[in-house]
Copies of this chain bind each other. A is one copy, B any other.
Amino acid sequence: MKVGVIGLGYWGPNLVRNFLAQKDVKRVVACDIRESRLKSIKDKFPSAELTTDCNSIVKGDFDIVVISTPVDTHHSIAKEALNSGKHIWVEKPFTFSSNEAEELIEIADRKNLRIFVDHTFIYNGAVQKIKELVDKDELGNILYFDSERINLGLFQRDVNVVWDLAPHDLSIMTHLLAKHKMKALVANGIANFNGKENLAHICIYFEDNCFAHFHVNWVSPVKIRRIIVGGDKKMLVYDDMENFEKIKVYNSGVEFNSAESIHEALVQYRIGDMFSPKVNQTEALALGAQEFILAINENRAPLTSGKEGLEVVRLLEATDISLSNMGKIVELDKAVLI
C-alpha cells in the first residue's frame, strides 16, 4: 500500500512513523507546506518521501490519505481524496459539522471506501481492557461515567477546549456505553481569555437512567486524566497519569433493599477487594493503523469509522449550542445519532 500523510504538526510525525512500520505499507509520502517540518521528518525518518504539494497526494497514486490538518480543512481535503478513490484516515474531531461528516460518509459508502477517524484512545490498552470488563458484565449495570481531563495547556487558536480535549472522552464513552441510548446534553463553562471556552462541563442523560459527565479544562494547575465507570456490581477508576496501575477495579458497591422499612437505611454499601489488571502497552496508534489496513483488506468498517466520528461531532455541536446558551438542555435524538 501507498500512504500519503498531509499535515506534519504535533501528531503528524507519529502518523508517519506508524505507517512506515506497517508491513503492508510500501511507501509513505509526507506532505506539509512548511519546509521546516519536512526537514524534521527527513531527519527522523529518512525512508519517508516528502512533498509540499498536497494535490499530488490527494489526486495521486495512493491507497490511503491521512489527514492531519486543522479541523476546518478536514472536510474539503477528505472530500477530494474520497472523490479520487482513496481510503481516508482523519484526525479527531472528524469534521467541523455533522453535515460535513454526513456528506463524507455518504460519498465513502457510495464509492465503497473506508473512513477511519483517529479516536486513538479506542486502541489504548487500558480502554480495551475496560471495554472487555464492561462487555463481560463484570461491572453490572452501568450507573454513570465520569471523566476529567484537565491541565495547564497551550490554548488552541481555532477551537475551544471542548473541541480540543473532549473528543477523547466522548469517543471512549460512546465506545464503552454503546448499548445505552443518549437522551439529552447540558454543557456549562467559561471563556476567560479569548472568547473560546477554556473550561467546560458536559452532562449527558441516557434513556435508561445512566448518566455521563465530562470535565475539560486548559487552566488547571494539576494534570488529571481520570475516568470513573460506576456499575452496580463493581466500579473502576482509570487513571492515565499512573505509570503502573492505570486501571483499578473495586469490588465495592451499593446494595439497595427496597423491601426494608422506610425508617431504616434503605441502601447499604460494601467495601471489598481491589484488582488492577495488567494493561497491554502496545502503542495505540500502531494498533489503529493496523485496524485500518485490516478493515480495508477485509472490506469492512473499522472500529472507529465515519459513523463513530459523526456521533462525536454531533455531541460537540450539541455542546456548543448548550454552552452558548448558558447550559440550555439539548435533546439528543438517538435515531439521528446513529
Contact = CB atoms under 8 A, between A and B. Distances in A.
Interface string A83-99: 00000000000000000
B266 A273 contact: no
A221 B228 contact: yes
A203 B214 CA distance: 13
6 contacts: A143-B199, A186-B327, A190-B211, A221-B236, A222-B244, A273-B277
A177 to B, nearest CB: 14
A143 B198 CA distance: 10
B189 A211 contact: yes
A265 interface: yes
A43 B277 CA distance: 36
Nearest to A190: B211
Interface string A206-235: 000111010101111111000010101001
Interface in A174-202: 184, 186, 188-194, 198-199, 201
A262 interface: yes
Nearest to A220: B228
Interface string A303-338: 000000000000000000000001111000000000
A203 B230 contact: no
Contact of A228 (B191, B222, B241, B253): B222
Interface in A101-132: none
Interface string A258-295: 10001101111101111111100000000000000000
A150 to B, nearest CB: 8
B266 A193 contact: yes
A94 to B, nearest CB: 24
A157 B152 CA distance: 41
A47 interface: yes
Contact of A230 (B153, B221, B256): B221
Contacts of A186: 186, 188, 326-327
A211 B198 CA distance: 11
A43 B228 CA distance: 41
Contacts of A263: 157
A201 B188 CA distance: 11
A256 B209 contact: no
Contacts of A189: 211
Contacts of A222: 228, 237, 244, 250
A44 interface: yes
A327 B248 CA distance: 31
